[in-house]
Structure 1
C-alpha cells in the first residue's frame, strides 16, 4: 500500500506516492514515471522495490498539467501520452524531480544513501537528476532523452545501470552504442536484451517482452543489492 504525500515546490505542492518496506525503513529510491504517468505499472514496480527493502517515492510529474490522465484502454493512448509529455517543460520537470529527491532524503524512514531510477521518459530524467545532484546510484531503463543529455555524462558520478532492448525502434543500437561510450566508467553497467523493444518492461501487450523483463529485473535487484544494500 502507498500513501500520498505533498512535496513543496515554488509553484505549489506536488503530489507523490510513498511506499515503505515491511521493516518500515530502508535506503530511498526516487522512482520516475514513463510518459503514461504514475500508472498501475509504475506503482507495481514501486511495490516490488519496497518488497526488496527500499523506501520508494514516485512523484506525479504531470501535476501542473490539465487533462493529464492517460487512458491506456484507448487505441490512441500512446499518442495521447506523447502529447501530454510534450507539454512538460524539461527544466521545470528536472527541478520537480530534484525537489522530490530532497523530500525523500529528508524522510526519517529513508536511511543511508539514495538512488534515482526511471523508465523511458523517467530514465532520461533520472540521468539528468544524477547529473545535477550527488545521488550515488542511478538505474535507467531505456532512457528516451539520453541521446540529448550526453553532454551531462561527465557530471554523473553515480554508480549506474543502463538497460536497453536490441529491438528498440526508438533507441537504435547505433544510438545505444553512442550512449554506452559516453557513460562508460568503472561503476557503469550497460545491459542489452535481445529481441526486446522500447518499454519492454511495461506489461501492456503493445510493449511487453516477458523474458527480457524478468532478466532485467534480476539485473536491477542484483545491482541495487551491491550498490544500495538494505
Structure 2
C-alpha cells in the first residue's frame, strides 16, 4: 500500500467525496485516481505525467503542497524526463481538451469539404431538375392567365335605343301670311322635253305678288322657263 495514496484517499474520504466526484471536478480519470490511492504503479503513467496528476489531485483535496511534493519525491523519486516540473494549477486534461477541439474542428472541415464535393458533383442534375420544376409550375400559371384573359367579357354595343324620328316634310308657308310665294317641294325629277330654241327672246312675266286682301282659297301662279318639276300637296 502506498503511503502517498493512503494519505490522499483519507483526505478524500474526510471530505466525503467519491472517486467519481473527484474525477469529474479535476478532469482526471477515475482509474488513475484509484491506482494512485492503491499504489499500483504499473497502471500509472511516467513520473513527469504522474507528478502533474498528483499535484492536481492534492490541490483539489486541499492538502499541503510542500508535503505533497516531499511525499511524492520519497515514494516515486524525482522526475528525470522533461523539465521535471508540471504546474499544479494546469489540469491534466488540458491536452485532452485541445486534442478533442482539434478533432472536432477537423471533423467539421471534412464534413464541409464532403458537402461541397457532393454539391459540385450533383449540381448539374439539381440545376436541370430545378429548371424543369420551375417550368412545370409556371406552365399552369400561364395557362390560367391566358384563360382569364380570354374569358373576360368584351364590351358589346347593344341595340340602339334611340329611334330615329321620321323626317318631317318642310312646311309650305302660306303666301297670304308672309306675302311671298310658297316654296315648292318635288318628289321626283321628271324630264321635260327641251323646247326648241327660238330666235325671239322670251321675256319672263314679273312674279305676281300676293295681295293682302283675303280671298277664298289660295291662288298660286308659277311660270316655268326651263326643265323643272313641281309637287303641290
TM-score tier (shorter): under 0.3
TM-score (ref. length: structure 2): 0.19
**Max Rg structure:** 2
Which has more strand, going by share of residues?
1
TM-score (ref. length: structure 1): 0.20
